[in-house]
Amino acid sequence: MHEQKAWETIKLQGIELLDKLKRIIDEGNARRIVVKQQDRIVAEFPLTAGVVGTILAPILAAIGALVALLKDCSIEVERVASDSGPERSKPAGPTRNE
């Protein structure tokens, strides 16, 4: 089984950003979340396949606080999909939401 990696860049603010991250994590194929300010990595959060709400809440709170404090901030999400997995778990490819 071969895994493919793809990155998705998100440029949203506030509740919309956190809701989008929750949906991505709920899909189960997110492996890493990186918070960037321009080209500099500010924070990186590795995720495991079994992330649950109690573990997810502090991560989302930290991301929300960082985004609120930083200007020109973007979130990058690394997604992984196996070649033999269901079609819905495959990453859509790099996108940019504004």
DSSP for 37-77, please give it. Answer: ETTEEEEEEE--TT--HHHHHHHHHHHHHHHHH-SSEEEEE
pTM for this model (two decimals): 0.68
What's the structural domain count of the chain? 1
Each residue's pLDDT, cut to its tens digit, for the chain (98 residues) gives 567 889 989 887 777 888 888 888 787 788 888 999 888 999 998 887 666 666 777 888 888 888 888 777 888 999 887 665 444 444 444 554 44
Residue-range definition of the domain harbouring residue 14: 3-97
Place of tokens 């985004």: 67
Q: What was the pLDDT predicted at 91?
A: 44
Q: What was the pLDDT predicted at 86?
A: 46
Give the whole-angstrom CA distance, residue 30 versus residue 7. 9
